[in-house]
Amino acid sequence: MTSRVLITGSADGLGLAAASRLLDDGHDVTLHARNQTRAEDIRRAEPRAKQIVVGDFSSIAETRSVAAQANDLGRYDAVIHNAGIGYTRARRTETADGLEQHFQVNVLAPYLLTTLIERPSRLVWLSSGMHQGGRGDLGDPQWESRRWSGSGAYSDTKLLDLVLAFGFARRWPQVLSNGVDPGWVATRMGGAGAPGDLAQGAETQAWLAVSDDPAATVTGGYFYHRRQQRPSPVTQDVAFQDALFDYCESVIPS
């Protein structure tokens, strides 16, 4: 059975690898690029992709535009939230919306996109084993008071991505919502020296997006190479999930 899948951040790396895998299997895949230049990169790298949505997730307005473009193309069976920025930033950076960049791109954008698009049947959230080092509270989610750490900010957002995955699994029981650790693979984010295999790193999210395997048709799970793992316990704290949802809503202009 053919599925319609939207993959964010799919101009290269894990997103493009997952798209190619799904296209190989005959699925209808919409890719996403942050600007037109990156969209042209997609067209050259994966000419089978007929549909590309464009918008920069460091902008709330452009994230809304991505959602509108996706809705114009029709409902998706699955969304893979792959887009994100890594941990090499030497200093705290604010977006034009006045939000810390890691938080806006890695957490707020997928949250907003999820709430604005027609509800899919499956959500797949890219996290990381580094989420285990993330801060499990919302005392300073945008690093306004803490001494800056790029790796710390990244770890925080990957933890919060799992909180969103499990929060949507609880709030939307008809939707399969799961998190994935793709491993440390050689991408622009992971670096050329990463030991993991790119194809294997993209396999689990593609599998969760379309497979009818009983192991894939679950919700509220955290996977590494198709096997469920134990996430940080705080990600499954219902009060923390609700607090993050409320916080995201509080920083989105009405």
Supply the residues annotated as catalytic: 154, 158
Round the CA-based radius of gyration of the chain to a whole number and report it.
17
Residue 218 and residue 225: Cα distance in Å, rounded? 15
CB distance 90 to 78 below 8 Å:
no
Alpha-carbon span 177 to 53, nearest angstrom: 22
3-state secondary structure the chain: CCCEEEECCCCCHHHHHHHHHHHHCCCEEEEEECCHHHHHHHHHHCCCCCEEEECCCCCHHHHHHHHHHHHHHCCCCEEEECCCCCCCCCCCCECCCCCEHHHHHHHHHHHHHHHHCCCCCEEEEECCHHHHHCCCCCCCCCCCCCCCCHHHHHHHHHHHHHHHHHHHHHHCCCCEEEEECCCCECCCCCCCCCCECHHHHHHHHHHHHHCCCCCCCCCCCEEECCEECCCCHHHHCHHHHHHHHHHHHHHCCC
